[in-house]
Structure 1
Amino acid sequence: MTERVTLITGASAGIGTELARVFASHGHRLALVARRADRLTALATEITAAGGKAPIVIPCDLVEPDCGDKIAEALAASGVEVEYVVNNAGFGLFGKAVQRDRADQLDMIAVNIRALTDLSLRFSDQLIGNRGGLLNVGSIAGFLPGPGMAVYYATKAYVLSFTEAMRAELAPHGVRVTVLCPGPVPSEFQARAGFRPGFDSAVLKVLPADVAQQAYRGLMANKRAVMPGLGIKIVPFLLRLFPRSFILGAVGRLQLRQR
């Protein structure tokens, strides 16, 4: 029988690292993907030292168009099949879209949308054959328009819509599909985005380790969506109470104030 692995992107920091630890602690063999080989190697060593199965380390920049091919080749060379795909990699950039570097924003689309879609579809046959699962990391931003972070919010709206549709398509095949929608999480994401946490972040934030634990439980229970933290859970409900124009203005004022 071919050995099965859980593929986790963006595993070198933040929620991705914690997801790797959680899956490994539950007996999964991992295939870890991120740009920084040294961090992946250190994480793989940590997991092995704790008694976990030796992870496959795949240094790869998901901005590159051929990243999916490289990942597939590395897995084939290791003689494994994918049982779970965890599309965690992603980044955001604060500031008005028309004032930010266009190439950087297109890179964001490449990582947050193209790579996520590629890996979700590329390994879907293996997920079906192994009756595994797909966990896509979205954001509470996916429910909102996002002036001051327009492209990022739009990418996460895509992740939410795409994952829910994939859930409907893969459900008859016994594949679990879950979208994780955290709010502010203290991690390298904020520094890269140029984000200065405010009062809202302090109130809504959940630690990466807690997010990862809830995500794992939600996926195994085949929940449609996981929204860590009480404050985040009420956001979709509150959105029904206010006009879209009001939400648009409120988010814009909040975002641009935090730069």
Structure 2
Amino acid sequence: MATALITGGTSGIGAAFAEQLAARGYDLVLVARDPGRLASAAAALSSTRGVAVETISADLAERADAERVVARIEDPERPIDLLVNNAGSGVRAELTSSDTAAHDRGIAVMCTAVLLLGGAAGRTMRDRGTGAILNVSSLQSLFTTGSYAAMKAWVTSYSQSLSVELRGTGVTVTAVLPGWVTTPWHTGSGARASAIPGWLWIGPDVVARTALADLDRGRVISIPTGRYRAIGWFARHLPRSVIRWISGKISSRRSRPAQSTDPLTTLTTTEDS
């Protein structure tokens, strides 16, 4: 039976991946920070789907914890067939802030950990001649709205580069770029959530279902729903000066006292590790 390892796999998009992969018959390795939530998620998936669920309590902002997950991926006795790099969190600190703690953590979880885990999976899967890596990025990676967008731009570019490096090896790489998603991070602020029109929201299950379908097709970039594919098309084809102008409008609204009411400041995020 195939095994999938999912970071940030206990809620939001990560939980949706876990549920849908379990429904496909995958055994699971769930990685997250909270041991209690891990145990609860594992028990629920095991009882409802009848799959084996292993858990790893790890904070991917800590290099030692990330290395423990790398060791699990590289374990030749227990191969990982699909890696889902989903863990992440929103970063709203200004790029000029003297306090870089939020940036440091974001880079550690959404860049360094993705590099470490993706590299480990790429090596081991390449040696076996089969496997898949799915990285959760963001539609915001196509804009220039600050630190989070920059980190997710790295994820999008990294995924494409890794796909090129692994071409012809039997290993596929897909980056999914969702938009507004009904996750705890998004809905935790009533003001932020209420400012976004209902028709723009999509559920985590839609993100996971689209990403897995595109992964099956071998697509490198996956954007769920026609509305977000249209936004993505314009973001890729408009002059960069126009994208910077749009991003500047988004960023200027975000810096005001009512920043949380601007829907474009919350294009997407994933669940914290």
TM-score over 0.5 for the alignment?
yes
Deviation by residue 1:239-258 (Cα, 9 ceiling, x = unmatched): 35543233223223234344
Considering only aligned residues, what root-mean-square deviation do their CA atoms show, in Å?
2.5
1:208 is matched with 204
1:151: how far off?
0.9
Any stretches of 5+ residues in structure 1 without a counterpart? none
Contact 2:82–2:133, Cα closer than 8 Å, also in 1: yes
2:215 alignment partner AA: L
2:130 is matched with 131
Is residue 2:91 matched to residue 1:102? Answer: no
Which residue of 52, 60, 63 corresponds with 1:62? Answer: 60
Rounded Cα–Cα distance in structure 2 between residues aligned with 1:84 and 1:75: 10
Rounded Cα–Cα distance in structure 2 between residues aligned with 1:125 and 1:27: 24
Partner of 1:228: helix, strand, or coil? coil
Which residue of 82, 85, 88 corresponds with 1:84? Answer: 82
Correspondence list, 1:1-259, <5 A: 4-74=2-72, 79-99=77-97, 101-128=99-126, 129=128, 131-146=130-145, 150-190=146-186, 196-197=192-193, 199-200=195-196, 202-239=198-235, 242-255=238-251, 256-257=253-254, 258-259=259-260
1:80: how far off?
0.8
Any stretches of 5+ residues in structure 2 without a counterpart? 261-273
Deviation by residue 1:164-198 (Cα, 9 ceiling, x = unmatched): 11111212111121110000111123367998236
Partner of 2:166: helix, strand, or coil? helix
Deviation by residue 1:129-177 (Cα, 9 ceiling, x = unmatched): 151100000000111111xxx1100011101111011111212111121
Higher relative contact order (CA 8 A, sep 6+): 2
Contact 1:176–1:220, Cα closer than 8 Å, also in 2: no
Contact 1:112–1:155, Cα closer than 8 Å, also in 2: yes
Rounded Cα–Cα distance in structure 1 between residues aligned with 2:104 and 2:151: 11
1:64: how far off?
0.2
1:189 alignment partner AA: W
2:158 alignment partner AA: F
| Aligned residue pair count | 254
Bigger mean CA offset, 239-248 vs 174-183: 239-248
* TM-score, normalised with respect to structure 2: 0.84
Percent of aligned positions that are identical: 29
Deviation by residue 1:108-137 (Cα, 9 ceiling, x = unmatched): 000000000100001223222151100000
Partner of 1:81: helix, strand, or coil? coil
